[in-house]
Amino acid sequence: MHDIVDLETRGIPSVFVATEEFVDGADRQARALGFAPAAVYVPHPVQDRTDEEMRTLAERAFGDVVKRLEAQ
C-alpha cells in the first residue's frame, strides 16, 4: 500500500493487486493513510498455484488492471 501511495503521489498511475483475502485489510490501511488506491483482487490463495494457474489468474485480471489505469 505504501508503494502505491508513493507512486501515485509522484504522478505515476498505479494499481494495487492482491488476493481477495486482503480486501478488508487493504481498505483499512487505505483509510488510515487517507488514500483510495485503484485495486484489483484475484482469488486466494496463490502460493500453491502452478505457473499455468498463475498465468490464467494474471490474464483474467489484466483487463481490470488496464481499466483502472485508464480511469486515472
Residue 68 pLDDT level (bands cut at 50, 70, 90) = very high
Residues 24-62 pLDDT 10s? 999 999 999 999 999 999 999 999 999 999 999 999 999
CA distance 51 to 5: 29
Contact criterion met (CB below 8 Å) for 15 and 69 = yes
| The predicted structure's pLDDT at residue 14 | 96
Domain residue ranges in the chain: 2-70
Q: For 11-30, what is the mean pLDDT?
A: 96
pTM for the model: 0.89
Three-state SS across 20-71?
HHHHHHHHHHHHHHCCCCCEEEECCCCCCCCHHHHHHHHHHHHHHHHHHHHC
